[in-house]
Amino acid sequence: MTEQTFSVSVDDDGQRIDVYLSSRTSLSRSSVQELISSGAVTVNGTAVKPSYRVRMEDRIQVIFPERETTTLVAEPLPIEVIYRDEDLIVVNKPPGMVMYPAAGHSGGTLMNAIARHTDRLATVGAPVRPGVVHRIDKDTSGLVVVALSDEAYYGLVSQFKERTIERRYIALVYGSMKEDAGEIELKIGRSPLHRKKMSTRVKRGKPARTAWRVLEHYSMATMIAAKLATGRTHQIRVHFSALGHPVLGDRDYGKKTSLRLNNMVLKIPRQMLHAKRLGFSHPVTGKWLEFRVPLPEDMMEIVRALRGAID
HSE (CB half, 13 Å, CA atoms) of 264? 8
Can you name the residues that pair with 146 across neighbouring β-strands? 89, 132
- Give the phi and the psi of residue 21 in degrees, each rounded to 5: -70, -35
Q: Is the Cβ–Cβ distance between 196 and 147 less than 8 Å?
A: no
Q: What pLDDT does residue 70 have?
A: 63
Beta strands per DSSP E along 65-114? 80-84, 88-93
Examine the pLDDT at 69 and tell me if it is beyond 80: no
Tens of pLDDT, residue by residue over 189-215, are: 988 777 678 899 988 889 999 999 999
Specify the pLDDT at position 68. Answer: 54
Confidence of residue 41 (pLDDT cuts 50, 70, 90): very high
Lowest model confidence (mean pLDDT) among 26-35, 59-68, 110-119, 251-260: 59-68
**pLDDT interval class at 66 (50, 70, 90):** low
Residue 196 has a pLDDT of: 76
- Say what the pLDDT of residue 310 is: 67
Pairing outcome for strands 80-84 and 46-47? unpaired
Which pLDDT band holds residue 64 (cuts at 50, 70, 90)? confident
CATH number for the segment(s) 80-162: 3.30.2350.10
Contact of 199 with 192, CB cutoff 8 Å: yes
Q: Confidence class of residue 121 from pLDDT cuts 50, 70 and 90?
A: very high
What is residue 129's predicted lDDT score, i.e. its pLDDT? 87
The per-residue pLDDT for 263 is 82
Identify the pLDDT of residue 31.
84
Considering the chain, tell me which residue range(s) the CATH 3.10.290.10 domain(s) occupy.
Answer: 2-64
The pLDDT score that the predictor gives to residue 58 is 87
Cα–Cα distances in angstroms (integers) from residue 50 to residues 30, 43, 47, 76, 169, in the given order: 10, 11, 10, 45, 38
156: left (phi over 0), alpha (psi -120 to 50) or beta: alpha
The residues, any chain, with a CB within 8 Å of residue 164's CB and separated by 6 or more, are 280, 281
Give the domain 166-308 fold.
Pseudouridine synthase (3.30.2350)
pLDDT over threshold 90, residue 24 = no
How much is the pLDDT for 128? 85
Check if the beta carbon of residue 140 is closer than 8 Å to that of residue 271: yes
pLDDT digits (tens, 9 = 90+) for 99-119: 988 766 778 999 999 999 998
Query: 7 pLDDT band (50/70/90 cuts)?
Result: confident
pLDDT band with cut points at 50, 70 and 90 for residue 169: very high
- What integer pLDDT is reported at residue 36 of this predicted model? 92
Catalytic residue from among 12, 58, 87, 137: 137
In this predicted structure, the answer to whether residue 311 has a pLDDT above a threshold of 60 is no
Question: For residue 117, which of 63, 80, 142, 149 has the smallest C-alpha distance?
Answer: 80
**Which CATH number applies to 2-64?**
3.10.290.10
pLDDT in tens, 77-98: 999 999 999 999 999 999 999 9
Mean pLDDT of the chain, nearest integer = 91
* pLDDT confidence of residue 13: 82
Predicted model pTM:
0.78
Q: What is the pLDDT of residue 30?
A: 85
List where CATH 3.30.2350.10 sits in the chain: 80-162, 166-308
Rg (CA), the chain: 22
User: What mean pLDDT do residues 225-230 have?
Assistant: 95
pLDDT at position 285 is: 97
137 is catalytic: yes
* Of the candidate ranges 152-156, 165-169, 198-202, 211-215, the one whose mean pLDDT is the lowest: 198-202
The gap from C-alpha 268 to its chain's centroid, in whole angstroms, comes to: 20
